[in-house]
Amino acid sequence: MKAFNSLNALVCPLDRANVDTDAIIPKQFLKSIKRAGFGPNLFDEWRYLDHGEPGMDNSVRPLNPDFVLNSPRYAGAEVLLARENFGCGSSREHAPWALEDQGFRVVIAPSFADIFFNNCYKNGLLPIVLAADVVDRLFAECEANEGYSLNIDLPAQTVTTPDGTAFTFDITEHRKHCLLGGLDEIGLTLQHADEIRAYETKRRASQPWLFA
Amino acid sequence: MTAQTLYDKLWASHVVREESDGTCLLYIDRHLVHEVTSPQAFEGLKLANRPLWRKDSVVSTADHNTPTDHWDQGIQDPISRLQVETLDANIKAFGALAYFPFKDIGQGVVHVMGPEQGATLPGMTVVCGDSHTSTHGAFGALAHGIGTSEVEHVMATQCLVAKKSKNMRVSVEGQLGAGVGAKDVALAIIGKIGTAGGTGYAIEFAGSAIRGLSMEGRMTLCNMAIEAGARSGLVAVDDKTIAYVKDRPLAPSALQWDAAVAYWNTLHSDEGAHFDAEVELKAEEVAPQVTWGTSPEMVVDVNGRVPDPALETDAVKKAGAMRALEYMGLTANTAMTDIPVDVVFIGSCTNSRIEDLREAAAVARGRKKAANVKQVLVVPGSGLVKQQAEAEGLDKVFVAAGFEWREPGCSMCLAMNADRLLPGERCASTSNRNFEGRQGQGGRTHLVSPAMAAAAAVTGHFADVRKLEAV
């Protein structure tokens, strides 16, 4: 997993509530057995004017000029600014894979759906919850100022606007540690293999029907 | 000892270790695996040369990509076929307690197959790379969806890294009216608390109306917990739970049965247990529900009207409602019963069990598909559900009504296979999500119960199933 420390990057505003993971990456792209290459199909049904299918040359497809991601002004954005309940619906990890593959490292929203929120951390993508009025302010500033960038500092847990206003965000120690180090969580858990085995032995004795 | 909720008990009994920030290693008893969210996880194991920690925890089937007709021709789409064959190969290489491949009689939607096989038991932790894993909470099991990285993590360690959620209780007291079922209750709850209302919570469904539901009904309700934002839904164990589990292929043996039942009977919230949030509904006030928009919270009674966004005061909500009406091709204040449908889909992990098919067949019996309805798909949840329905003659009822009787799978719930809506088509669907494009790009989904879907099929528009004229 890519480590995350700090970032000063362009912000792309996606001004819709309840953006679901079906919208982030439509189902036909879930047929892939690979983990990479989903970026060009991020928000496929909003981003292109035609119907997308796996295997198409996305570089020649007609773009929807009204979709924010296609605006030259936001090209190269690494911070996605979103509305409440971002990432709701399907548990597909292809959603954070697609965001990460497109180049996003941070999503800021007033709230996230639980499964999506959790999936982000496994992929070096930092989801940040800020209060709704702060997010309103960021939307207004982003839309008013071309080239609007935010500074994201994970060690300090702050989001800082160009005028120097800093907003703090919460993250668990465990997630922060894993993101900062880009750590393999399975490797970390396997350091506790003896405890897992001890738990399993007890469980096998008390609930033998759970073991074949 | 302090009074505990059912969720507290399930959580505490699975904690292997806890960090100072509350992050836990949670032991996983059952891992359900399907073809879409597992290939990258198996690939990860191979790359790191890691085995499955406990292969007897894995129960698997192929469901999302499988076709629902012409099974003799196999899977036509080469990309779908590769994904299903990849699952076959991975299960062969890594092992599993049970596997129900494409065309096996036990194959079906993973959340129908699990309980049906006895792979889901009370008191278990159950995970699957699918958000509708909440379904299994109907058995007093702690069940929720996970992403593919977590699928790999559970495969390699038998644990999840997780933090405890908060407790919410949704109580539904009283008796549901005739023609009103678990799906209507689920949609009414989501309409009340919103699609993010349960975010951060495990929801326990309680009250006399919930106790009155069959296991199939409880599964429908817990299935939709995720549409209310809650990763897990729960219902306490009672005699219905235990009767459903008894004699299932993977249920405890006769020797272990009494001990298992004694434990299962402790799986309920204690008197006086603390819930962080409480929601109450009166069963008598729940009418048949129909969604009008592109989020499950955009829902009204069938006798209601499409809401007017002009009356919405919240700017973000107003914009969402206007966008939804445009996508759905609807005008504010239209009576729901005046909206014609093109396609009807009866199936999905929400509503494809035998009781759902009986409910739809009861409406279809002696009636015909309306002329304006192009297609009515009935997709049983598994090969065993299909077999049972055919033994009861339900297939003949559907076919006589002009409905199509298909092979089992996820089908048009998410339209990964060939079953999908065309742009602009309007569907009365028993599935769980009415998101833009969910059932096919440009398709317009209205979520309803099986009885209401059948009523729409025979009348050609949304209709109050309680008011259908007798045949």
Cβ–Cβ below 8 Å for B36 and A31 = yes
Same domain as A97, residue A126: yes
Give, for B125, the enclosing helix (H) or strand (E): strand B125-128
Give chain A's domain count: 2
Query: Do the domain assignments include residue A18?
Result: yes
Q: What is the ipTM of this complex?
A: 0.96
User: pLDDT band at B1, cuts 50/70/90?
Assistant: low
Q: Among candidates B58, B41, B18, which has minimal Cα distance to B161?
A: B18
Q: What CATH architecture applies to the domain B289-467?
A: 2-Layer Sandwich (3.30)
Give me the percent of chain B exceeding a pLDDT of 70: 100
In tens, the pLDDT along B134-144 reads 999 999 999 99
Q: Do A199 and B22 touch (CB under 8 A)?
A: no
Q: Give residues 152 to 181 of B whose Cβ lies within 8 Å of A.
A: 152-153, 156-159, 161, 163, 165
> Is the same domain home to A189 and A175?
no
Give me the mean pLDDT over the B441-462 stretch: 98
Task: Say what the alpha-carbon torsion angle A183, A184, A189, A194 is, to the nearest 10 degrees.
Answer: -110
CA atoms within 13 A on the CB side of B93: 14
**Amino acid at the residue A67:** F
Contacts of B256 in chain A (CB under 8 A): 208-209
Residues A21 and A92 both lie in one domain: yes
CA torsion sign for B185, B186, B187, B193 is: positive
> For testing the chain A interface, which of B10, B52, B124, B161 should be mutated: the one with the most A CBs within 10 Å?
B161
CATH 2.40.50.140 fits B10-163, yes or no: no
Q: Are both B10-163 and B289-467 of the same fold?
A: yes
- In this structure, are A199 and A150 located in the same domain? no
The answer to whether residue B63 neighbours chain A at the CB level (below 8 Å) is no
**Numbered residues of the known binding site of B for [4Fe-4S] cluster:** 349, 410, 413
Are both A120 and A27 inside the same structural domain?
yes
Most A CBs within 10 Å: which of B57, B86, B195, B294, as the mutation test of the A interface? Answer: B195
Closest C-alpha to B279, from B168, B190, B187, B196: B168
* pLDDT single digits (tens) B123-137: 999 999 999 999 999
pLDDT score at B471: 87
Instruction: Indicate whether A191 and A143 sit together in one domain.
Output: no
CA dihedral of B259, B261, B264, B268, whole degrees rounded to 10: -130
The overall average pLDDT reported for chain B is 97
**Assigned domain for A106 exists:** yes
A vs B: CB pairs below 8 A: 190
Domain containing residue A55: 6-181
Phi, psi (deg, nearest 5) at residue A16: -145, 140
Cα(B3)–Cα(B5) distance, rounded to whole angstroms? 7
Query: What's the rounded Cα separation, in Å, for the pair B386 and B335?
Result: 36
pLDDT of residue A36: 94
Q: Checking DSSP bridges between strand A106-109 and strand A126-129, what pairing results, if any? A: parallel
Q: Are residue A42 and residue A114 in the same domain, yes or no?
A: yes
**pLDDT tens track for B179-235:** 999 999 999 999 999 999 999 999 999 999 999 999 999 999 999 999 999 999 999
Question: Does the distance separating the beta carbons of A33 and B25 come in below 8 Å?
Answer: no
Query: Is B317 in CB contact (< 8 Å) with chain A?
Result: yes
Whether B88 has a pLDDT exceeding 90, the answer reads yes
Backbone angles phi, psi at B372, to 5 degrees: -80, -10
Q: Does B39 touch chain A (CB under 8 A)?
A: yes
Q: Which residue out of B46, B59, B79 would a mutagenesis test of the A interface target, given it has the greatest number of A Cβ atoms within 10 Å?
A: B79
Q: Is the pLDDT of residue B14 over 80?
A: yes
Q: Is A1 among the domain residues?
A: no
Contact B137, B235 (CB under 8 A): yes
Same domain, A132 and A201: no
- Identify whether residues A121 and A133 lie together within a single domain: yes
- Residue B283's closest CA among B169, B168, B188? B188
A177 and A100 together in one domain? yes
Q: Is residue A151 part of a domain?
A: yes
**pLDDT in single tens digits along all 212 residues of chain A:** 889 999 999 999 999 999 999 999 999 999 999 999 999 999 999 999 999 999 999 999 999 999 999 999 999 999 999 999 999 999 999 999 999 999 999 999 999 999 999 999 999 999 999 999 999 999 999 999 999 999 999 999 999 999 999 999 999 999 999 999 999 899 999 999 999 999 999 999 999 999 98
pLDDT value of residue A43:
98
- The CATH number assigned to the domain holding A86 equals 3.20.19.10
Q: Give the Cα-Cα-Cα angle B156, B160, B161 (nearest 5 degrees).
A: 120
Nearest CB neighbour to A185, from listed B153, B230, B415: B153
Domain ranges of chain B: 10-163, 289-467
Across the interface, whether the CB atoms of B121 and A210 are under 8 A apart is answered yes
